[in-house]
Amino acid sequence: MQVFNSIKEIQQWSLQNKKQGKTIGLVPTMGYLHNGHLSLVREARKQCDIVIVSIFVNPIQFGVNEDFDEYPRDIQRDQLRLEAEKADAIFAPAIKEMYPGGYNTYVEVLGEIPGKLCGSRRPGHFRGVTTVVSKLFNICLPDKAFFGQKDAQQALIVEKMVKELNFPLEIVRVPIVREEDGLAMSSRNVYLDHEQRHEALILWQALQKAQESIRSGETNVETVRRQIKQMIVACPQAQIDYIEIYNASDLADLQKIRGQVLIALAVKFGSTRLIDNLIVEV
Amino acid sequence: MQVFNSIKEIQQWSLQNKKQGKTIGLVPTMGYLHNGHLSLVREARKQCDIVIVSIFVNPIQFGVNEDFDEYPRDIQRDQLRLEAEKADAIFAPAIKEMYPGGYNTYVEVLGEIPGKLCGSRRPGHFRGVTTVVSKLFNICLPDKAFFGQKDAQQALIVEKMVKELNFPLEIVRVPIVREEDGLAMSSRNVYLDHEQRHEALILWQALQKAQESIRSGETNVETVRRQIKQMIVACPQAQIDYIEIYNASDLADLQKIRGQVLIALAVKFGSTRLIDNLIVEV
């Protein structure tokens, strides 16, 4: 497995691989890899000749009061895990390599999809995501790029960007990977203390309960949101950021629950903000 | 020569050409081709195996009160000219092909360079340019893209975008082509009536005069701007939009004229806005 820090070097390497007719799969990550990330890598390994995993904690997608400095990092452990998964290359650039002095070019998806859920709470977040992802696409030249369903809104926005800017590649969405007790895997789970870790199980439980309720015939959005809310507020440390139910393909508001709907939650436990979601088909 | 209207088809064709090891040159145009455009095509023909010329009057780079509807179009004549230049393909998409319903993704260079000259007079113009150029790059997959020095600010912005978003390609700048009497070639020249056409010569004359004055030792920006202004205001129909002198590589303000400087003009003759420029090395 090769480790690249230089944009020029990995871009050349990718170009050479493409010239040899090899397909490239890219898994963009911020590192501190857990089994959720590794499931993306495994999917890329199955579908592509060459697997590149980028590890870059992207400063421009963090707000000023967010956890950029504290975001967990362990490149050596990441490297061992990726070797075990038979990734071909890691791309781990320095911040200055990605954003040299005077950097001023941004890619942005506007409109309804980025204006909801995390987009409305984290101004600039998705602009930071679409910008870095565009850069990674141009640098690594993937045929396919793998994104987790955990960040459902991110996947939708990246898909829209790829379609609208005509990137010559396909986005593959990979299902959420959960701990045995149901907590969605996240690099931020390490922030949770014992009690918070236990309380956080409510997210998955509430999503499952909502699914049950919808499958039993409930079509009222507010009723389902209220059911979820009641479960979460029963946890002493939980502070709800949002509980939303939208059309799964474009985050459009729903009069009634029907078709494919996305139930999305963001809840803080102490200072740790967790997200989780479930797509329910009616 | 092939004519493509479909993004998917030309993207596939470009991918196939690249797989065969061929280099692709892209000349992005808005059509109504004159010798300035053709000099770009000839340069591409010299440097690349495959030459693609895109013809697309890009609505999102025109302001609401600008000349999008009147912009001259003659695809048949363009096609004949490009056949004569041995271009390999024309890409001439419909507006809906490029911007389908709900389109909402934009690429933007912020900061000093787009805030000056035409950027400050035409809000949204360069965002429209960088967005369509990004799309054309992803669709046509060029190794080199050819831009005219006539649109000096556009060339600078596109170069900055390519560098900062890491597009795997090179921008080639091609010198301004002028009519025999010195008027810079432009599709908009057809708007000029006889008298305006004659008056418009003042642009090139004033640029040359400014160059002379700088070469004779004048280093004061204001003095040179005043000289140019005096020449232009003597034309009854000329209305000056801007006369500016900046550092040629980043449009930084100058205390004194030194290094490579860009002298850039935008002047209206009747309702026709013309631009011209000259780089002077001191």
User: Which residues of chain A form CATH 3.40.50.620?
Assistant: 2-174
Domain with CATH 3.30.1300.10 in chain B: 187-281
Active site residues of A: 37
The tens digit of pLDDT for each residue in A47-96 reads: 999 999 999 999 999 999 899 999 999 999 999 999 999 999 999 999 99
> Do residues B168 and A141 make contact, with C-beta atoms less than 8 angstroms apart?
yes
Please provide residue A131's backbone torsions phi and psi, each rounded to the nearest 5 degrees.
-70, -50
Q: What is the pLDDT of residue A88?
A: 98
Task: Please give the pLDDT value at position A258.
Answer: 95
Q: Each residue's pLDDT tens digit in chain B (282 positions)? A: 999 999 999 999 999 999 999 999 999 999 999 999 999 999 999 999 999 999 999 999 999 989 999 999 999 999 999 999 999 999 999 999 999 999 999 999 999 999 999 999 999 999 999 999 999 999 999 999 999 999 999 999 999 999 999 999 999 999 999 999 999 999 999 999 999 999 999 999 999 999 999 999 999 999 999 999 999 999 999 999 999 999 999 999 999 999 999 999 999 999 999 999 999 998
Per-residue pLDDT at A193 = 97
Q: CB distance B164–A15 less than 8 Å?
A: no
Residue A15 pLDDT:
96
The amino acid sitting at A70 is E
Q: Compute the distance between CA of residue B238 and CA of residue B200 in angstroms, rounded to an integer.
A: 8
Residue pair A93/A138 in contact by the 8 Å Cβ criterion = no
- Does residue A42 contact residue A158 with C-beta atoms inside 8 Å? no
Facing residue for A104 by CB, picked from B18, B106, B111:
B111
Which residue from B18, B106, B166 is facing A11, i.e. has the nearest CB?
B166
Taking CA atoms, B272 is separated from A31, A258, B67, B165, B240, in Å, by 54, 54, 9, 34, 12
Which residues of chain B neighbour A103 with C-beta distances below 8 Å?
164
Q: Is B198 a catalytic residue?
A: no
Overall average pLDDT of the A113-121 stretch = 94
pLDDT number for residue A249: 95
Question: How far is B124 from chain A, CA to nearest CA, in Å?
Answer: 14
Instruction: State which fold the B187-281 domain adopts.
Output: Pantoate--beta-alanine Ligase; Chain: A,domain 2 (3.30.1300)
Give the residue-averaged pLDDT of A271-282: 96
Length of chain B: 282
A85 to A81, A92, A141, A144, B119: CA distances (angstroms): 6, 17, 21, 18, 49
User: Each residue of A157-212: pLDDT tens digit?
Assistant: 999 999 999 999 999 999 999 999 999 999 999 999 999 999 999 999 999 999 99
Contact B276, B153 (CB under 8 A): no
Q: End-to-end alpha-carbon separation of chain B, Å?
A: 44
Hey, what amino acid is at A181?
D
Using an 8 Å Cβ cutoff, are A180 and A198 in contact? no
Smallest Cα distance from A2 to chain B, Å: 21
How many CB atoms within 10 Å of residue A17? 19
3-class DSSP assignment, residue A242: strand
Residues of chain A positioned with their CB less than 8 A from the CB of B119 = none
DSSP letters along B222-251, please?
HHHHHHHHHHHHTSTTEEEEEEEEEETTT-
What is the mean pLDDT of the segment spanning A110-114? 94
A265 residue type, one letter = L
Identify all chain B residues contacting A141, using CB atoms and an 8 Å cutoff.
168
Indicate where chain A has its CATH 3.30.1300.10 domain(s): 187-277
Label the pairing between strands A2-4 and A89-91. parallel
Cβ <8 Å between A168 and B141:
yes
Length of chain A: 282
Nearest to A108 among B106, B109, B167 (CB): B106
The predicted structure's pLDDT at residue A206:
98
Strand (E) positions, A30-152? 50-55, 89-91, 105-109, 144-148
Q: What is the pLDDT of residue A183?
A: 98
**Predicted pLDDT at B152:** 97
Tokens for A75, please give them: 């490149």
pLDDT of residue B107: 98
Residue among A184, A140, A176 at smallest CA distance from A8: A140
CATH topology of domain A2-174: Rossmann fold (3.40.50)
In angstroms, rounded to a whole number, what is the distance separating the alpha carbons of residues A239 and A232? Answer: 8
Q: How far is A271 from chain B (nearest CA, A)?
A: 33
Residue pairs between chains A and B whose CB atoms are closer than 8 Å = 82
Q: Which of B104, B161, B164 sits opposite A111 (nearest CB)?
A: B104
Query: CB of B25 within 8 A of CB of B143?
Result: yes
Residues of A with CB under 8 A from a CB of B: 7, 11, 15, 18-19, 21, 102-111, 130-131, 134-135, 138-139, 141, 160-161, 164-168
Q: In the prediction, which pLDDT does B145 show?
A: 99
Q: Which residue of A has its CA nearest to B135?
A: A165
Q: How many Cα neighbours within 13 Å face the side chain of B213?
A: 19
Neighboring chain B residues of A130 at a CB cutoff of 8 Å? 105
B105 and A164: CB-CB below 8 Å?
Answer: yes
The CATH number, out of the four listed (1.10.10.10, 3.30.1300.10, 3.20.20.60, 3.40.50.300), of the domain defined by the range A187-277: 3.30.1300.10
Name every chain B residue with its beta carbon within 8 A of the beta carbon of A18.
Answer: 18
Set of chain A residues whose Cβ sits within 8 Å of the Cβ of B18? 18
Optimal mutation site among B12, B17, B18, B106, interface A, most CBs of chain A within 10 A: B106
Other beta carbons within 10 angstroms of residue B268's beta carbon come to 14
